[in-house]
Structure 1
Amino acid sequence: MNTFYDLIVVGAGPAGLAAACSAAQAGLKVLLLDEFMKPGGRLLGQLHQEPGGAWWNGIREAELLVLGARNAGAHIQTGVSVTGLNRTSDNSWTIWTNQGCYHAPFVLLATGAAESANPLPGWTLPGVMSIGAAQVMTNVQRVRVGNRGVVIGMSVLAMAIVSELRLAGINLAAIVLPPGNALSGNASDPEAVLGSLLRFADLAPSAMLKYGAKLLQSSMLRKLALTFFPKQGIRMLDVPLQLRRCAIEIVGRDAVEGVLIADVTARGEPIAGSERIVEADFVCIAGGLYPLAELAAVAGCPFRYVPELGGHVPVHGENMQTPLPGLYVAGNITGVESAKVAIAQGTVAGLSIAINAAAKKAPGEAEVKDAMAQVKRTRSEALIQFHPDIARSRAKLYQTEIV
C-alpha cells in the first residue's frame, strides 16, 4: 500500500475525530487511523450525569463526532495499528502500519492516554484488571466483570468509573488505598487523597459530603478529619470509601478470592494486627493515567516532564504544533484532561493544519484564536479536573512559541 493524504490522524478518539472533521471541512484529504474495531476511543466507555441533570453519553457523543468527520469527507479506518513514522526526504511523513505504509505532509498524533500500573502481590491473578478495563467491559462490551469487587485506588477517574459500575448494578465491597511504595506515591497518603477527592465534591451523592468538603479546605482541618474518619469508611454511591484502609495483597489460588487489607494511620502507615480479608471475585486497580506518547518519541519529538499533565508530554504550542515540521498533537497525549477538552484541542489542531497546508477553505487566524479560547473555556468548565494546576502548567508549557 502506498497511499498519499494531506493529513493522517492517528487515534480516532475525541481529539482525532474533531481534528479530522475540521481539517476535512477546510478541504484537506484526511485519513483517520485507529487500532480499535470502532472509532470513539475512551468516549465509548463514558456515561455520567452532569451537575445540571443532563447525561453525558460517550457512545452517543462518539457517534456524532464520527458522523461529522465522515460527512466532512474524512476517511476512517479501524483495526489498523500504527507501528512507526518517520520524516522523509520529500518533506512528508511515512506512517508504518500493520496494513502497509501511508504518506502525508501533515500528521496529527491523538493517541490519548494509558493507565499506570500499581502492582501489589497477587495482581497477576485472573480477575484483576485496571479500572479502565472494567469500564470498557461494562459500558462497551456489555460484559459483567464479576459479582463482588474491590477497587484499589481513589483517583478522580476511579470515582467516576465507580459511579458507572454502580449504574450497571455491579456490587463493590470497598474502595481502599493502594499499598505505600515507590510507584504509588501520594496515592497511598490519606491526606493527599482526601485533598484530591475534595476537588469533585460537588458530584458527591449526599448533601453532607458536599457541604462537609467545603469545611476541609485547609490542611489542618483535613488532618483533623482523618483522625476521626471511620475505619469502615463512609458510603459513597452505596460503596464504603475507606480512606483509612489499604490493600496489602490480592489473594486466591486460581483466581481472585479476596483482598487482604489493613487499617492505616492518618499518614498511611499499615497498623500491625489489623489485617483482614474482604471477599471478592474481581479487583480493579486504579493507578491513574499518563500520556500515550510513544509514537511522538519514535518521530523524534522533544518532551517535557509536567506532573500536572500526567508525566512526559511532547513539546507543542497552543496551536498543537510540535517543533517537527508537519507534526501535531492533540488530546490526552498532550496532558490528561476531559474528553470535552480533547474535542476542543482537536478542533484547534485541524484548523491550524488547514492553514499551514493552504487548504482551499482554510480558516483565518481569528478563527484559530477563537478555537484556542474555546479550549480554555472548556477547561475551566470541565466537570472533572484531574489536577488543580492544569491551566497554569499549560500556560507555562506554551511560553516557548513553537514555529
Structure 2
Amino acid sequence: MIDVFIVGAGPAGLSAANVCAKNGLKVKVVDEFMKAGGRLLGQLHEEPDGTWWNGIEEAKKLNDEAQQLKVEVDCGVSVYNIKKQNKSWKVYTTKGKFQTKALLLATGAAETAIPIPGWTLPGVMSIGAAQVMTNVHRVKVGDRGVVVGINILSAAITRELQLAGIEVSSMYLPGKNIATGDHGNPILTMKSMLKVASLAPSKLIRIGSKLMKSESLHPLALKFYPKSGIKVWGMPVHLRKAVIEIVGEKKVEGVRVAKVDLNGEPIVSTEEFIPVDFVCIAGGLYPLVELAAITGCPFQYVSELGGHVPVHSEKMKTPLEGLYVAGNITGIESAKVAMKQGTVAGYSVVQDLSNKKEAFQVQLKQAIQTVEETRNQAVIQFHPDIRTGRKKVYMSFKDKGLMKKRDFYGT
C-alpha cells in the first residue's frame, strides 16, 4: 500500500510529492512522458525584472529534490483506469496496479486543435509542439513560418522560437469557420489581448491599450488597424488578416492569407500567398480531466478556467475521499501557480493522513495564501477573470455541502 500516488510529474505533481515525502509519506509519481518536469521543460521567458525563467532548470530543481527525498518517480508510464476500493484507490498503469491511500491527479492541460484546410500536411504543428521540439529536443521546426491563432500562449511561445533563432514571419487569425469559432473573430481577439497588453514589449502598444478601455472603441480601432499589422518583437501581428488555407503537395510550402472584415469574414479578392515551410496553430489550452472523470468526481464548466474542471476546494480536495487535484487540471494558469497549488495539495494529503491534523493547519493556510499571492504576481495570465472562475468552483463545492466551512479561509 502506497501512501500517496501522484499522476503527473509536472510542477504541481513534483511540488506535492516533495511536501508529502518531507513529512514521512511514501510517494510514487508516474508520468507518461520520458522526462519529469511536464510543461516546465519547454518554458523560457524573461521576467519583468530582467531575470530569465528557465523551465528546464526549475524542473531539475524539483526532480533533484524528489530524488533526495526518495520519491519514486517513474516516467514513460500511463494510467488507464482508477477504481475506488473502500478507503483506498486502485490505480491501473502500464507497469502494474497500485493501491494507495491518497490519489493526486496533476495531469495538466492539452492544446485545443483548430482545423484549417491543409492542417494535416507535414510541417504543421501545434504551438506547444513547436515549443517542446525547440526547447526540449533542440530540434529546429523549420526555417521560416507563421503562427495561426493570437493569444497569450502563442505570443509567449513565438518569442521563445525567435530567441532560438527561428524566423516567424507573422501571426495571423485562423480563417473563420464552425470549428475555429471565437479564435477567428478580430474583435474578441483584440479584447482578450488588450487585457494582457501591459506585458507587451512595445511602449506604444502599452499606452494604446490604456486608451482602449471602452469596448465601443474596439470596432473603430480595428477599422483603422494597420494593413501591415502591428510589430511585436519585430514581427507583424495581424488582426485583420486570416490564414484560410495551408498550401503544399507533400509538405508545407506556404499559406493563403485573406483580409477579413470586423466579423472575421474573408474579403473577396484580397488573398495572397505567403511562402513558409512550417505553420504553428494555437488554439489555447484546456484542462486534461479524463482520469478525474473515471473516478466519478463531479465537474463544473467554467469558461474562465478553460473548460470543465473537477469540483474542488482551496485545499485542492475533491468531494471524493482521498482524491486531490492540482495544477492545470483545475484551470489554466502559469507553472508558478501550479507549483504552489501542488504545495497546497501536498499539505492537504499530509494533514488528512496524519494523526495530528491540527499540526499542519498553519502550513496549509500559508500555502493557500501563497497561491493567491503568486497568482496576483503572475507575468502570464491565460484568463483575466481567473479569480472569478476560482470562486465559482469553490462556491459550487460549498453550496453542495461537500466542504466544511473551515475549508474556506477568510470567507
The TM-score with structure 1 as length reference comes to: 0.96
The equivalent of 1:156 in structure 2 is 152
Q: Tell me which stretches of 4 or more aligned residues in structure 1 moved more than 3 Å.
A: 359-363
Corresponding residue of 1:221: 217
Residue 58 of structure 2 is matched in structure 1 by: 61
Instruction: Please list the CA deviations of residues 193-217 of structure 1 after superposition, one character each: whole Å capped at 9, or x if unmatched.
Output: 1121122223322211121111111
Partner SS state of residue 65, structure 2? helix
- 1:379 is aligned to 2:375: yes
User: d(CA) in 2 for partners of 1:212 and 1:345?
Assistant: 35
Counterpart AA for 1:148: R
Q: Secondary structure at the match of 2:300?
A: strand
Task: Determine what percentage of the aligned residue pairs are the same residue.
Answer: 55
Distance, in Å, in 1 between the alignment partners of 2:262 and 2:44 is 34
Q: How does 1:272-291 map to 2 (within 5 A)?
A: 272-291=268-287
- Determine the structure 2 residue equivalent to 1:203: 199
- 2:149 and 2:283 in contact (8 A); partners too: yes
Kept in 2, the 8 Å contact 1:15–1:342? The answer is: yes
Q: How far apart are the structure 2 equivalents of 1:133 and 1:388?
A: 25
Within the alignment, does 1:142 sit opposite 2:132 as a pair? no
Decide which moves more: 107-116 or 184-193.
184-193
Give the conservation status (yes or no) of the 8 Å contact 2:304–2:388. no
Residue 262 of structure 2 aligns to a residue in which SS?
coil
Select 2:113's aligned residue among 100, 111, 117.
117
Correspondence 1:3-402 to 2 at 5 A: 4-89=1-86, 91-358=87-354, 363-399=359-395, 400-401=397-398, 402=402
Q: Is the 8 A contact 1:301 1:323 kept in 2?
A: yes
**Alignment match, 2:409:** none
Greater CA drift, 177-186 or 379-388? 177-186
2:255 aligns to what SS in structure 1? strand
Q: Larger deviation: 249-258 or 200-209?
A: 200-209
Question: Is the CA contact (8 Å cut-off) linking 1:25 and 1:361 kept in structure 2?
Answer: no
State the TM-score, normalizing by the size of structure 2.
0.95
| Residues 86-133 of structure 1: CA deviation (Å, up to 9, x unaligned) | 1124x2111111111111011000000000011011110011000000
Contact 1:152 1:285 in 2 (8 A): yes
RMSD: 1.4
Task: Give, in angstroms, the shift of residue 58 of structure 1.
Answer: 0.4
Letter in 2 for 1:371: A
Shift of 1:183: 2.7
Identify unmatched segments of 5+ residues in structure 2: 404-411
Give, in angstroms, the shift of residue 362 of structure 1: 8.2
Unpaired runs of at least 5, structure 1: none
Say whether the 8 Å CA contact 1:131–1:158 is kept in structure 2: yes
TM-aligned CA deviation for residue 361 of structure 1: 9.6
Give the partner amino acid of 2:39. Answer: R
- Which residue does 2:407 correspond to in 1? none
CA deviation after TM superposition for structure 1 residue 363, in Å: 4.6
1:220 shift after superposition? 2.0
Letter in 2 for 1:164: E
One-letter identity of the residue aligned with 1:357: L
CA distance in 1, matches of 2:358, 2:324: 17
